[in-house]
Amino acid sequence: MKINSNSKQSYSSLAKWLHWSFVILFAYGIYKQVEELNELEDFSLLKFEIFFAFIFLLFLVFRFVYMTKTQNSSLPENTSKAQKIAAKLVHLSMYFCLFGIVLSGLMIGFLYWFGIKGGYLIEFSIFIHESFFSIIYWLISLHVIASIYHRFKQDGVWNSMVPFFKENKTQNN
């Protein structure tokens, strides 16, 4: 079976670099996350968390603008309309949640910076932050499952972004 000729679209090298760098940056953010709010008593940690959030936000904004202005979907033309809508919805929802994670995290950091260490406002900010994290885990899971689906379908979508376990150009039946 030959890969669909309509799906030879590949993302630019910069798009691939942004995608995989973002995966690493997000994983690092999860790894070094603050477990307890009172850890922010360490002023150097608080400053680092705010700095990291700003870097993450700048990276996220750049990636969103770059991807939406310069890149096209690698889904084959014959992909169903429902699947195209689902893919776009998941991607946009991932960006929305990532923005929500950063903004709510910054809110928590600034509230803590200004001495607001308890109360409704910080509790609400933490709730929003944790909710966005819960949602993003589901969205990332859907994204990975869809990627694996396309890898097995061998329609070129996997090869357009993933640098390993490349699809064969042809496959004997």
Q: So what's the pLDDT on residue 3?
A: 35
In a domain? residue 110 = yes
> Confidence band (pLDDT; 50, 70, 90) for 70?
very high
Q: So what's the pLDDT on residue 159?
A: 87
The pLDDT tens digits of the residues spanning 19-69 come to 999 999 999 999 998 988 889 999 999 999 999 999 999 999 999 999 999
The pLDDT tens digits of the residues spanning 75-107 come to 988 989 999 999 999 999 999 999 999 999 999
In a domain? residue 3 = no
pLDDT of 173 strictly over 60: no
Cα separation, 149 vs 158, whole angstroms: 9
- Residue 147's domain spans which residues? 10-72+80-161
**Total Cβ atoms within 10 A of residue 107:** 18
The conformation of residue 41, written as its DSSP 8-state character, comes to G
pLDDT of 151 strictly over 70: yes
In a domain? residue 166 = no
Q: How many domains does the chain have?
A: 1
pLDDT of 1 strictly over 50: no
Q: So what's the pLDDT on residue 123?
A: 96
Angle between helices 81-113 and 43-70 (to 10 degrees): 150
